Amino acid sequence: MGGERVGGIWGVTTKKRESVCLWGRQEMGDIRMRRKEGSGKRKNGFCRLVCQKAAAAMCTALLGGIFGAGNHLAYGAEPPAAAVFNYEELGTLIKEHCPQVEMERRQYEERMDRLKDAREELLKTRRALREEASDREKEGDISGADHYRQQAEALLDAADSLDRQIRQAGNASSRMALRQMEDTMTWTAQNLMGTYHSLEAEKLAANARAEVQKRRFEEAQNSKSLGDGTAQAAEEARQKWQLALNEGERMTAEQERVRQELLRLTGFSVSDPALPGPMPQPDPSRVASMNPKEDQKAALGNNYQLRSSRGGAAKTNRELHKKQRQTRQDENQMFASLETLLTQVHSCRTEWEAAEAEEAAARARWEAASRKKELGLMAEPEYLENYSNYMEANGKKIQAAIRFELAMEAYDWAKKGLMDQ
């Protein structure tokens, strides 16, 4: 029952990767060929060709690093087999199997590979030049030997430059895009799971309403048969029943669409029967630790948009003052955004507590109706009314709990850096 990959890969294309610096081996062959010919003469064209191609290789690698690679290869291992995937597992599933995250990771890894391949080929060519210099020196061609050594040192400088590029590509800022994609997709998956369960609650309430409307239609039909009711009243009851059925079907279809989108994000095939696990119950104690004044520093330091827009050190006093003004503006805006998110948390908490009370009251009425029905003191239509009212209240409680949970998640994600400015 595990997740399937579509056609063995996760719906991406593969482009042939450009080879880098293959000329290095060819030029080594050229050197050996000239040695076999017994030529002690220096061929200026060879030196120019080696240097030109070394420069070309370095440009190819750097352009690949700047503009990114176009190779989107097959994704990694299949997601773990599971009938249910839980809310707490979403972060791991997204990190390991989400197509968007995997694509971002592939692009990052290929940029690194291009740089490393170019560096290796430069070093191979440098070794060939040093061997040529040694051979020239043995033949007494000191000038030629010095020339080749100079070119070898130039290639070493180029390789050192690529080394720096590799170190920079591996630092925290260069991996920021990947982490941002992971966080964004995880937050999206959390919202989708919340939507899935909200729709489930609506569907169950709609089904309960359909049962009530069905019984009313049956009563209207009986009344019409006995001459106590009209055909119009029976038709109106039938239409209300049909509307309730249509609402349940619409909720079912929308819920399946959300489930399939959630499967895509977590790396499963949309045909996989895996189901989202339950949403966590809101923990009101989390609210006590939310303090915009204290949290704005973490939010500012982690915010992806601000981190990507920060430049280097100011070179002039004018630039310094501009950066300072921008920092104050960012701090004020971040504080206001956190305040807004916290206000939303409090609002959702109030709504959730009210929904909890309403659900408890509706449950008590339904349980009382159930006892009366068992004792023959309540007819089924009235019992179904109580049951439908309870399911309505229960659905609202579930939806309020989901909104409260996701409001707290939104605040926490803002602290982690996932908030637009």
Give long-range contacts, CB 8 A cutoff, 24+ apart: 110-114: 110/17, 110/64, 110/68, 110/69, 110/71, 111/64, 111/65, 111/68, 111/69, 111/169, 112/166, 112/169, 112/170, 114/20, 114/60, 114/61, 114/64, 114/65, 114/69
Distance of alpha carbon 244 from alpha carbon 339, whole angstroms: 41
Nearest to 144 by CA among 43, 38, 36, 39: 43
Token pair for 82: 């599971």
In sequence order, what are the residues at sequence separation of 6 or more whose Cβ sits closer than 8 angstroms to the Cβ of residue 5? 75, 78, 269
More confident residue, 149 or 85: 85
The domain segmentation of the chain, as residue ranges, is: 6-176, 285-421
Cβ-contact 415, 299 below 8 angstroms: yes
**Better-scored residue on pLDDT, 56 or 314:** 314
Q: Which of 31-35, 97-101, 141-145, 176-180 has the highest mean pLDDT?
A: 97-101
Nearest 5°: phi and psi at 275?
-120, 145
Q: State whether the Cα torsion 250-256-260-265 is positive or negative.
A: positive
Of residues 140 and 344, the one with the higher pLDDT is 344
User: What does the block give as tokens for 400?
Assistant: 């309020």
Mean pLDDT of 365-377: 96
Please report which confidence band the pLDDT of residue 311 belongs to, taking 50, 70 and 90 as the band edges: low
Output the DSSP codes for 334-378: HHHHHHHHHHHHHHHHHHHHHHHHHHHHHHHHHHHHHHHHHTT-S
Average pLDDT over residues 254-282: 93
The confidence score (pLDDT) of residue 15 equals: 31
To the nearest whole number, what is the mean pLDDT of the chain? 78
User: Which of residues 301 and 364 earns the better pLDDT score?
Assistant: 364
Q: How far apart are CA 238 and CA 249, in angstroms?
A: 16
At 193 the pLDDT is: 95
Give whichever of 6-15, 152-161, 212-221 has the largest mean pLDDT: 212-221
pLDDT digits (tens, 9 = 90+) for 177-227: 888 889 999 999 999 999 999 999 999 999 999 999 999 999 999 999 998
pLDDT mean over 107-113: 78
| Minimum mean pLDDT range among 5-14, 77-86, 99-108, 164-173 | 5-14
